[in-house]
Amino acid sequence: MMRSYLLVPAHSERKLARALTSGADALILDLADSVAPKDKGKARKLATAFLLTHGGLLRPRLFVRINALASPLSEGDLDHVMTGAPAGIVLSAAAGKDDVVLLGARIAVREALHRLPDGGTRILAIAGDRPDSVLALGSYTGDVARLCGLVWCGSRSLAGIGRQGARKEDGDWGNPSALARNLCLFAAGAAHVAAIDRPYQDFADSGGLAAEAAKAADAGFAGKIAIHPSQVAAINTAFTPGPDAVAAAEALIATFREAGNPGALAIEGHACDQSDLRRAERLVARAAQITQISKIVSPSPSDPSGE
């Protein structure tokens, strides 16, 4: 149950060290877009060393974003970082369930080679960043082995269709980016995994970030990508159920129990049914899980082991 995923260029020792104390629930060590070709080798080595040193942490959990499966770099990325037993691999440009299955098979080979728990490495897929990827969102149905979340990448998918002006998304039903966003939410629901919201690019605009994160949480996203440590606190706040919401959900659950769990009830003038009950139960469970996460202290600079 992770709210914030901080994307960290893996070739920067300074940024890797700073990320540990950011308060993020997860770090994504990036070997892909944020790393120039000349730094790919350095990024692999630093990411692997970082995993070997900090991979046992319960918070932040450590993911690695490898280069796209179609890239000749992806196999080498896995060869390096799987020696460090990452919590998960982030798949760029996922073209549907088949790509997740293929990556899972490649991960399984490395798990066996390095005597890691079978199936222990999860997959977070960046979905909907190309036209074919948007059309493949319908393939994520049922339980997909290893898949733990789908990331909506924002307006990147527009590059493949020639759309001009990626902004002005609110209330614009003709905006293709909004369609991709909503499909990603439904795809995550169909696959029973978390939907993760796009990065907010203007990391100096704290108000804009907070507003976008709040809207994403209300829409059904479970977390959001951060591109700067300063964004983490606002993201964690937005995706943590407030005490009033938790209290209302607990009261609704108690009312249903006292009434013998009927199909529907009238509560304070509102008709509530089993779908409302399930939503309340999910909110309370999520709040409890986040409370447990928050009790896990991230390592300090003076104590990199976190012990």
Residues 214 and 195 in one domain: yes
CATH number reported for the structural domain that contains residue 193 in this entry: 3.20.20.60
Each residue's pLDDT expressed in tens, for the chain with a length of 307 residues: 799 999 999 999 999 999 999 999 999 999 999 999 999 999 999 999 999 999 887 889 999 999 999 999 999 999 999 999 999 999 988 989 999 999 999 999 999 999 999 999 999 999 877 888 889 999 998 889 999 999 998 665 555 565 555 555 555 556 778 888 899 999 999 999 999 999 999 989 999 999 999 999 999 999 999 999 999 999 999 999 999 999 999 999 999 999 999 999 998 888 999 999 999 999 999 899 888 887 776 776 544 444 3
Residues 198 and 288 in one domain: no
Domain boundary (220, 239, 258) is at 239
Question: How confident is the model at residue 290, as a pLDDT?
Answer: 87
In this structure, what is the dihedral angle of CA atoms 271, 276, 280, 283, given to the nearest 10 degrees? -130
Q: Residue 248 is inside which H or E element, if any?
A: helix 243-258
What is the value of pTM for the model shown?
0.88
Length reported for the chain: 307
The number of folded domains in the chain is: 2
Answer whether 4's CB lies under 8 Å from 24's CB.
yes
Phi and psi at 215, nearest 5°, equal -65, -40
Residues 50 and 135 in one domain: yes
Residues 210 and 253 in one domain: no
- Which residues lie across from 28 on neighbouring strands? 7, 63
Domain boundary (239, 269, 292) is at 239
Phi and psi at 14, nearest 5°, equal -65, -45
DSSP-derived pairing of the beta strands 264-267 and 270-273: antiparallel
Residues 123 and 13 in one domain: yes
Residues 170 and 215 in one domain: yes
Query: Residue 250: left (phi > 0), alpha (psi -120 to 50), or beta?
Result: alpha
Helices then strands, counting H and E runs in the chain, come out as 10, 10
Domain boundary (205, 239, 273) is at 239
Residues 77 and 215 in one domain: yes
Residues 126 and 159 in one domain: yes
Residues 21 and 54 in one domain: yes
Closest CA to 19 of 54, 43, 52: 54
178's tokens? 């909004």
Evaluated on CA atoms 243, 245, 248, 254, the torsion sign reads negative
Residues 280 and 143 in one domain: no
Residues 117 and 149 in one domain: yes
Question: How confident is the model at residue 29, as a pLDDT?
Answer: 98
Domain span at residue 278 reads: 240-307
Neighbours of 111 (CB within 10 A): 17
- 273: which residues sit within 8 A by CB, 6+ positions away? 263, 264, 265
Answer whether 44's CB lies under 8 Å from 74's CB.
no
> Helices (DSSP H) in 116-228: which residue ranges?
131-135, 176-191, 206-219
Residues 63 and 19 in one domain: yes
